[in-house]
Amino acid sequence: VIRCKAAVAWEAGKPLSIEEVEVAPPKAHEVRIKIVATAVCHTDAYTLSGADPEGCFPVILGHEGAGIVESAGEGVTKVKKGDTVIPLYIPQCGECKFCKNPKTNLCQKIRITQGKGVMPDGTSRFTCKGKQIYHFMGTSTFSEYTVVADISVAKIDAAAPLDKVCLLGCGISTGYGAAVNTAKVEPGSTCAVFGLGGVGLAVIMGCKIAGASRIIGIDINKDKYAKATEFGATECISPQDSKKPIQEVLVEMTDGGVDYSFECIGNVGVMRSALEACHKGWGVSVVVGVAAAGQEISTRPFQLVTGRTWKGTAFGGWKSVDNVPKLVTEYMSKKIKVDEFVTHTLPFDKINEAFELMHSGK
C-alpha cells in the first residue's frame, strides 16, 4: 500500500481537501500509476457541483493526467513498470462489439463499474481516514498515485513533457477529434465554434488543420478572442452584440449558414443555435459540450428535413489506446499545439485555485 497526497471531494459543493490517502496495489489487469501532472476540466467541476447523476462521494476526481507506471498487476501485458502513460476515461479493450466497430470509440467493457466509481471487480483502491473513497471516470488523476484498469491506459513517448500532454487525456483530443473525426471538416469549408474555452480552441485548431477557410469563434467573453485568433479563428463575435439570435447573424454572415458548427459549452439553447446556424442541404452540427442531467434539446424538425445533420462526439471519436500515443507524436512533431493551451501551472495543493481560475474564464 502506498500512502500519498490526494485531493478528496468529501461531499458535493464543497472545495477539495488535500488528504493523505492509502492506495492499494493493483489487482489482476490493473495498473498503478504515479501521476506527475493533471489538469482540471469542467467535467470535474460538474460532478463536484452535485449535478451529476452518476456522482458518488467521497471521491477522487480528475481525468486529464499523465504519469509513470509504478507497478502492474497480474496479466498486464501492454505496459510495465517505468512506462510513461496517460490514463483513459474511455478505455479500449479491443474485444467488445464497440471496439470492433470502426464507427465508434465508446468501449463498454467496464462502463457499468466505472460509472459506479469502482474498479472492474466492484471495489475501490482508495481509502482515507478509514473510509472507502470512490474512483472517478476510471482515472482519478487528482492523486499522487492512482490505480486504473489495464485497458484504460495508453503508453506514450517517454520524452513527452507530462505537464503538457496530460491535456491530451481529454480536452484537446476531444475538440481536435470533433473537427477531424466526427465532423470530418473539409478544405475550404466555413465553420462556427460556440464557446472558446480549451475544447473550443482545440476545435478551431482541428478546423484549421483540416483546411477550413473561415472559422468563426463565438463567445460572450471577448477576452478569449485573441487566443482564438492565435489558434486559427478568422473572426470572433459575441451573441450579445446583436438583437437578432446568433444563428440569424451567422446565416447572414455566411450566405446561408456554415458548413460545420460545434457546441463546446454544454448549453442546450446554444446547441439549438449551432444547428440552426448550419447551411440548408448539407450543414453538420456537432454537440461537444456535456449538458446537465435531465436537459433536452429542441429544434423544428424542418431544420433536419431540409438537410442538416445533428451529431455528438465523445473524446473526439478517438479509439483511445490506439490514438492517444499518435496524438502525442503529432504534438512532438509540432503538427498540433498543446503548450499554448496551458495558461497557469500551480502546485498540487493549490488545486482549488485552479478550479476558481477555470470558473472565472481565465
Q: What is the pLDDT of residue 71?
A: 98
What pLDDT sits at residue 315? Answer: 98
Q: How confident is the model at residue 51 (pLDDT cuts 50, 70, 90)?
A: confident
Using CA atoms, how far apart are residues 31 and 54, in angstroms rounded to an integer? Answer: 24
CA distance 13 to 180: 36
Residue 88's pLDDT is what? 98
On the question of pLDDT at 35 being above 90, the answer is yes
**Dihedral angle over CA of 139, 145, 150, 151, nearest 10:** 20
- pLDDT number for residue 206: 98
Q: H-helix or E-strand containing 145?
A: strand 145-149
pLDDT value for 94? 98
pLDDT score recorded for residue 292:
86
pLDDT above 90 (res 54) = no
Percentage of residues of the chain with pLDDT beyond 70: 100
What confidence tens digit (pLDDT) does each residue in 259-292 have? Answer: 999 999 999 999 999 999 999 999 999 999 999 8
End-to-end CA distance of the chain: 38
Model confidence pLDDT, tens digit, residues 146-182: 999 999 999 999 999 999 999 999 999 999 999 999 9
Grid cell digits, residue 213: 477557410
| DSSP element (H, E) containing 114 | helix 111-115
* pTM greater than 0.75: yes
Dist. CA 48–CA 161, nearest whole Å? 28
pLDDT, tens only, 72-126: 999 999 999 999 999 999 999 999 999 999 999 999 999 999 999 999 999 999 9
Instruction: Give the per-residue pLDDT at 189.
Output: 98
Q: How far does CA 61 lie from the centroid of its chain?
A: 14
pLDDT at 52: 86
Of the chain, the percentage scoring pLDDT greater than 90 comes to 96
Task: Select the CATH number that applies to the domain covering 2-169+319-352 from these four: 3.40.50.1220, 3.90.180.10, 3.40.50.11290, 3.40.190.10.
Answer: 3.90.180.10
User: What tens digit of pLDDT does each residue of 219-275 get?
Assistant: 999 999 999 999 999 999 999 999 999 999 999 999 999 999 999 999 999 999 999
Q: What is the CA radius of gyration of the chain?
A: 20
Going from N- to C-terminal start, the domains of the chain cover 2-169+319-352, 174-314
pLDDT at 361: 84
Class of domain 174-314: alpha beta
Q: At residue 362, does pLDDT exceed 90?
A: no
State yes or no: pLDDT of 293 exceeds 90. Answer: no
Mean pLDDT, the chain, rounded, equals 97
Tell me what pLDDT residue 23 has.
Answer: 98
